[in-house]
Amino acid sequence: PIQLPLAGKKVVVTAGPTRERIDPVRYISNFSSGKMGYAMAEAATKLGASTVLISGPVELPKPEGVRLVKVESAAQMLEAVLAEYDDASIVVKSAAVADYKPKEAQTQKMKKKDGDSSIELERTTDILKTLGAHKNSQILVGFAAETNDAIGYGKSKLESKNLDYIIVNDVTDPGGGFGSDTNVVTLLTRAGKSYPFEAMLKSELANVLLEKIIQEERATVDD
Ligand code: PMT
């Protein structure tokens, strides 16, 4: 029988946006649809992995063969990821995690008042940075959603978060980014290699990216 490349490996993928509550009826979030992350989870499963998909609120069906953990906020995503981290072989962080949350979530719906209003925000925990700081043998794959100097910011995130790979997308590219079925990305490796890919369906791209990472890992072991 053919041995699939990720057979016996646990892959953890995060997907979608997070929602940070302002009050019971309002929240802060972003335009992530979850398509990229769901495609990564599906591709990992097809390559033989036992896949856990930790997802923010999205409108997508559960990919077949994947264990789905639904979360809402960045804090819940952190907790869910940490619970799956120790025995994971690969962690792919496709989720668009909120960087800020309201300092206090109101328990009752905020009422309109005359004049302007503002909400005080505080930082959420950087999940990926936390994972990078507690790495044992996991391969850590981040994403970077940028609107300018994508490669430059991608490289600095790869280093500051102690990642093995980062998948950089310029989200202003008409061929990709938030919500679309296609994406245009460059894969950067810790060793300093850079692999740009043409616009492709997120489903195809997910497979191409994982295959490339598997190939890079084999090359590192053989060195
Ligand atoms: O969901 P789609 O509509 O298909 O869109 C796909 C996508 C554009 C959301 C996806 O391709 C993508 O780029 N995901 C990462 C979005 C993002 O949050 O990028 P960032 O540059 O802000 O963060 C860098 C990395 O740190 C990401 O891997 C992110 O998951 C992680 N992070 C960020 C903040 C935080 N508090 N914790 C984190 O782990």
85: domain CATH number is 3.40.50.10300
Judged against a pLDDT cut of 70, whether residue 223 lies above it is answered with: no
Tell me the pLDDT tens digit for each residue of 13-43.
999 999 999 999 999 999 999 999 999 999 9
Taking Cα atoms as reference points, which of 167, 176, 177 lies closest to residue 142?
A: 167
Q: Is residue 35 marked as binding? A: no
> Which pLDDT value is given to residue 2?
79
Decide if 130 is inside a domain: yes
SS3 state at 166: strand
Residue nearest to atom 26 of ligand 1 (CA): 128
Decide if 47 is inside a domain: yes
180 lines ligand 1 (CB under 6 A): no
Residue keyed to tokens 């890992």: 217
Give 144 Cα–ligand 1 centroid separation in angstroms: 6
Decide if 3 is inside a domain: no
Residue type, 89: S
> Which pLDDT value is given to residue 220?
81
> How much of the chain exceeds pLDDT 90, in percent?
94
Tell me the pLDDT tens digit for each residue of 67-104.
999 999 999 999 999 999 999 999 999 999 999 999 99
The reported pTM is: 0.96
Decide if 179 is inside a domain: yes
Residue nearest to atom 10 of ligand 1 (CA): 94
How far, in Å, are 46, 54, 110, 136, 179 from residue 21 at the CA level? 36, 19, 12, 33, 22
Residue 211 phi, psi (nearest 5): -60, -40
> What residues are paired with 21 via a beta bridge?
27
Judged against a pLDDT cut of 80, whether residue 1 lies above it is answered with: no
Which residue segment(s) compose the domain that 142 sits in?
10-106+120-222
> Which pLDDT value is given to residue 19?
98
Q: Which residues are catalytic?
A: 30
Q: What is the dihedral of CA 149, 155, 159, 162, to 10 degrees?
A: 110
Question: Which tokens sit at 89?
Answer: 């072989």
Return the best residue to mutate from 18, 30, 32, 99 for the ligand 1 pocket (most ligand atoms within 8 A of CB).
32
Judged against a pLDDT cut of 80, whether residue 221 lies above it is answered with: no
Note whether 181 and 35 are within 8 A (CB).
yes
Give the nearest ligand 1 atom to 96 CA. Answer: 18
94 lines ligand 1 (CB under 6 A): yes
Tell me the pLDDT tens digit for each residue of 125-170.
999 999 999 999 999 999 999 999 999 999 999 999 999 999 999 8
Note whether 106 and 23 are within 8 A (CB).
yes
Decide if 112 is inside a domain: no
Decide if 2 is inside a domain: no
47 lines ligand 1 (CB under 6 A): no
Return the best residue to mutate from 93, 139, 188 for the ligand 1 pocket (most ligand atoms within 8 A of CB).
93
The residue-averaged pLDDT of 109-122 equals 94
Domain tally for the chain?
Answer: 1
Decide if 4 is inside a domain: no
Q: Is residue 161 marked as binding? A: yes
Residue keyed to tokens 């990821």: 81
Give the H/E segment covering residue 100: strand 100-102
Give 97 Cα–ligand 1 centroid separation in angstroms: 6
Question: Which tokens sit at 12?
Answer: 């953890």
Give 2 Cα–ligand 1 centroid separation in angstroms: 34
Taking Cα atoms as reference points, which of 1, 14, 207 lies closest to residue 126?
A: 14
Q: How far apart are CA 117 and CA 209, in angstroms?
A: 44
Identify the weakest region by mean pLDDT among 10-14, 52-56, 168-172, 207-211: 168-172
The residue-averaged pLDDT of 172-177 equals 91
